[in-house]
Amino acid sequence: MANNPQSQTVLIINADGQANFLLERIVNSMGFVVEISTTLQNIKQFFAPSPPVLVIISQQFALENDFVWVKETRQLYPLLPIVAYTTIINPQDLINTLRIGINDFLSAPLTREDVVDCIQTNIKKAANLKNFVLLESRRATQQLQARVNELESLIRLGRSITASLDLDEVLRMIVDACVEVTGSEEGSLMLVEEETGDLYIRASRNFNNDFVSTFRLPVQDSLAGSVLRTGEPVILDEDTPQKIKTSYLVHSLVYVPLKLRQQVIGILGIDNRHNRVSFKQKDVLLLSTMAEYAVIAIENARLFSEMENEKNKLNTIIGEIEDGVVVIDQEQRIVLINQMAVQALEINQKVTGGMPLKSLLAPQELLDLIEGENNHLSQQIEIEDAHENIYSAQLTPIPAVGLAITLHDITSLKKLDRIKSDFVNTVSHDLRSPLTAILGYVELIERTGQTNELQREFIRRVQTSVQNITILVEDLLNLGKIEAGFDTRKELANLESIIQTSIDNLYSNLKLHNQQVIFTNHSKIPDVYFNLIQIRQLLDNLLSNASKYSPDGSTIRVETQLEQNQIIIRVSDEGIGIPQMDIPFIFDKFYRSGNVNPEVSGSGLGLAIVKSIVDNHQGRIWVESNVGNGSTFTIVLPVTE
């Protein structure tokens, strides 16, 4: 640019007209365009559209307002040469102007030689400085671009590691990136062979395939061995080739360890066999980062392999189980299902993980239970398929996963239960008459003559035993009627009054044990159709049990609530509670919990009757209990107005 001054401007800022005339002539003779301003006002116009190539400013203007103009101009145009013109040389002023950015000085009297030399020298310095800045900027840009390339390689590797389960592919990409980013000739990733302890090449770049397949490197007395032992990187830079292995000589090399849980499992390396280019510390840092990616990929592959093995084991085990098993996630999508469950649910399509359970046309009662508000609790229902096979469906919540559903075929058990019920009903009917006769004759004994105290005690024992057997027979007959569906009569009834009647019937027993019942109706419940006798029996049994198994002075709570066209009844006590292992069986006939005192009377039919009544009303019942903290029985009945 200095060689073509015709297109360049020199700005003179000076109030001395004679000096300006002389300067203009000299500068014009050099081929520059000259602009002159005798004031600092509106000086910006001379910098548009491009600044002058050099400025000559009088010492007076330079010093004005504490060098304000010089400071501002130097900040905006740091490479612009500024020359001060002075008529009186004051050393302190010269020092001050130099400090704030004046490049050079011209002093009176002006000579052509001084002016030309000053202008050419300062323009040349500015051009050289500009070229230097451009070179440094280009060098910095190249370094920045190299760093960007490194980061892009790391980002690509990070994505590959998370997206690919092909370990060989990921390791090859890591080695490729190491070679490309560092500009090295070769790269390799070596792992320790478990049987021999030698290193073998798992991934490489620019190595001969035959060399890779036969390569084995003992760790004793080798650079790679020192990396394995110390866990520290090694960098090699030699003028003469160094032997790594026979026919494997390098001028420069970097080895970094692959560390997994404080143990070195392999080595990532780059080398130059022919180029005598040294590796820098930044190359070591880059390889160390790449090595971490490699370790993550190796660990991911190991974990995935273990997971697949465990999954296969689990599928094998579940496939051999005679019960149906279904696991769904929190979005009710299939996680796992075995063939028995496919048969039990009569699924006629191929099932894959992630399919919604609804899409498999599962029984509606099962879906209702899964979607219900109590799906966080273990629950059990019975479902029947089109072939009259009956399955017991047990729902078990799995934290952070969803629900496990087991389907146990109880068809044969149901048949046996019906046979047993028929037998019990027959026997119960046959026992009623003899029992009535025994009671009648026992009462007549006392009327036939005088009896002593011992005889009267025997009579009381006979009466008590017969009465207990009679109650058992009545319970069996009631249960048989309910299960058989003989009494299907339903009438419009008020639930609140039924509950209050059951509480009143228990009054004498509550008073005897200093117990109280608190009844809370959380919402207005309309009159609904119930089998009045059965609902009373249900409430009587639950309240009687709550009182029987609770300590003196305790409180029993009854709560009712209307929610989504369903009536919810809860009966809670402060009693002995039910062991978790007993909960699945408490609604079975004749079953009594293992922690019940044998001296407490009971037939083991009360809750079985309750369950049958609930089933007869198309409802559901479950219990929540902990030993020593009481129990809460929850009944859900549909509203039938």
Amino acid 36: pLDDT:
93
The answer to whether residue 222 sits within a structural domain is yes
Backbone angles phi, psi at 279, to 5 degrees: -95, 150
> Residue 196's closest CA among 220, 168, 172?
220
3 state SS of 125 = helix
* Residue 80 counted as domain residue: yes
Q: Distance of CA 93 to CAs 71, 89, 98, Å?
A: 15, 8, 9
Q: Which residues in the chain land under pLDDT 50?
A: 1-2
Are 82 and 55 within 8 A, CB to CB?
yes
Which CATH number does the domain housing residue 470 bear? Answer: 1.10.287
Instruction: At 414, give phi and psi (nearest 5°).
Output: -65, -40
60-89: pLDDT as tens digits: 888 877 788 888 888 888 889 999 888 876
Integer Cα distance of 93 and 57 in angstroms = 14
- Looking at the structure, do residues 122 and 189 belong to the same domain, yes or no? no
Task: Tell me what pLDDT residue 13 has.
Answer: 92
Separation between Cα atoms, residue 103 and residue 86, nearest integer Å: 14
Classify 29 as helix, strand or coil: helix
Q: How far apart are the first and last CA of the chain?
A: 101
Mark whether 112 and 44 lie in a shared domain.
yes
In a domain, 381, yes or no: yes
- Give tens-digit pLDDT for 498-522: 999 899 988 888 999 999 999 999 8
What's the total number of domains in the chain?
Answer: 5
Looking at the fold, whether 257 and 396 belong to one and the same domain comes out as no
Residue 471 shares a structural domain with residue 535: no
Which of 409, 437, 464 is the last residue before a domain boundary?
Answer: 409
- 37: CATH: 3.40.50.2300
Which residues have C-beta within 8 Å of that of residue 569, sequence separation ≥ 6? 495, 499, 558, 559, 560, 634, 635, 637
* Domain that residue 333 falls in: 321-409
Residue 398 inside a domain? The answer is yes
The answer on 585 and 472 residing in a single domain is no
Q: Helices 167-182 & 112-163, crossing angle to 10 degrees?
A: 170
What pLDDT was estimated at residue 2?
45
Q: Omega before 241 cis (within 30°)?
A: no
- 546-576, pLDDT tens digit by residue? 998 899 999 999 999 998 888 999 999 998 8
**What is the predicted pLDDT for the residue at 254?**
92
Q: Are residues 170 and 275 in the same domain?
A: yes
Return the bridge partners of 557, or none.
Answer: 518, 572
Q: Which amino acid is at 66?
A: D
Angle 634-619-370 from CA coordinates, rounded to 5°: 80
Enclosing H/E stretch for 139: helix 112-163
How many residues comprise the chain? Answer: 641
Share of the chain above pLDDT 90, in %: 20
Same domain assignment for residues 462 and 540: no
- Token pair listed for 250: 């390098």
The whole-number pLDDT of residue 598 equals: 65
* Residue 528, in any domain of the structure: yes
Domain assignment present for 95: yes
CA distance 611 to 37: 109
Is there a contact between 382 and 403 (Cβ–Cβ < 8 Å)?
no
Q: Are residues 539 and 604 in the same domain?
A: yes
What would the pLDDT profile of 219-257 be if each residue is shown by its tens digit? 887 888 889 889 999 998 887 778 887 778 888 999 999
| Spatial distance between the Cα atoms of 594 and 625, rounded to a whole number of angstroms | 14
Query: Is 155 domain-assigned?
Result: no
DSSP code for 39 = S
Q: Where does a domain end: 282, 306, 330?
A: 306
Q: What is the per-residue burial (b if ≥16 Cβ within 10 Å, else e) of 582-606?
A: bbeebbebeebbeeeeeeeeebbbb
Residue 157 domain-assigned?
no
Which CATH number goes with the domain that contains 600?
A: 3.30.565.10
| Cα dist from 429 to 432, 434, 435, 500, 590, whole Å | 5, 10, 10, 33, 19
- The alpha carbon of 118 is separated from its chain's Cα centroid by a whole number of angstroms, namely 72
CATH at residue 224: 3.30.450.40
Task: Give the chain's mean pLDDT.
Answer: 82
- Identify the domain boundary among 461, 484, 507: 484
* 234-245 β-sheet, strand order: 199-205, 186-192, 263-272, 248-260, 234-245
Residues 14 and 126 in one domain: yes
Do 387 and 511 lie in one domain? The reply is no
444 in the same domain as 386: no
Query: Are residues 514 and 423 part of one domain?
Result: no
